Amino acid sequence: MKQWEDERLVEFLREGQISAFEEIYRRYWYKLYSIAYHQTGVREEAEELVQEVFLTVWNRRAEVIIRHLDLYLTIAIKNQVYDYIKSQISYRKYQEYLIFQEIHQYYDTDEIVNFSELTQAVEKVLSLLPEKSAEIFRRSRFENQPVRDIASSLQLSEKAVEYHITKSLKFLKENLKPFHSDN
């Protein structure tokens, strides 16, 4: 099957030949994985999305007319990624809603106002930091990104990232003394 053109493989696929499907899988798995990984940034999710595309190709092989296999698979993975990202956004909004409900359930208005004031104060102090330090701190503490990932994405050493975090923490502690509790 390796010598066959894509069009011929699609014909064999429509006939239900597993060897044609396996060859398509071998030819296109890495390309689809690369697209999915580039968009999601998560290896496991990218692999799962690619598997879903190939599962759909196999299950719908007799129904779908594929004229350009490469284009068909590329669009299919992009649609899978789009649906995945859309579901992640919906999930995050739902999580935010649950957190908001929990806050209202367990905290009185004064505590919510104090938390809001603290949040504003933290943002104000962060704006006084150098841009790179503030970004690293936000990624580390607000987005829970590991030091290794921050270092990689900003093309810094892990030590440099740790330095920025430590520097930011000291700066915040010093500038947020009015909010510090002895408890």
| CATH assignment at residue 59 | 1.10.1740.10
**Per-residue tokens: 51:** 């598997």
Largest distance between two CA atoms of the chain: 75
How many folded domains does the chain comprise?
A: 2
Lowest mean pLDDT among 25-34, 58-67, 69-78, 111-120: 111-120
**Per-residue tokens: 22:** 């396996």
Q: Which CATH number covers residue 168?
A: 1.10.10.10
82 and 151 assigned to the same domain: no
**Per-residue tokens: 171:** 């700066």
Q: Which of 89, 117, 132 is the last residue of a domain?
A: 89
Q: Which of 56, 89, 122 is the last residue of a domain?
A: 89
The single-letter DSSP state of residue 142 is I
Q: Of 90, 82, 76, 65, whose CA–CA distance to 32 is shortest?
A: 76
Taking all residues of the chain, what is their mean pLDDT, rounded to a whole number? 84
SS percent in the chain: helix, strand, coil, step 5: 80, 0, 20
145 and 172 assigned to the same domain: yes
Q: For position 173, what pLDDT does the model report?
A: 83
50 and 82 assigned to the same domain: yes
**Per-residue tokens: 141:** 């503490």
The mean pLDDT of 44-62, rounded to a whole number, is: 94
Question: Is 94 contained in some domain?
Answer: no
85 and 119 assigned to the same domain: no
148 versus 89: the higher-pLDDT residue is 148
Which residues span the domain enclosing 167? 108-179
11 and 85 assigned to the same domain: yes
Question: Is 85 contained in some domain?
Answer: yes
Question: Is 18 contained in some domain?
Answer: yes
pLDDT at 34 over 70: yes
The single-letter DSSP state of residue 155 is T
Q: Please name the residues in contact with 156: beta carbons below 8 A apart, sequence gap of 6 or more.
A: 150
Global pTM value: 0.52
Lowest mean pLDDT among 34-43, 51-60, 148-157, 171-180: 171-180
Half-sphere exposure of 132 (CA within 13 A, CB side): 12
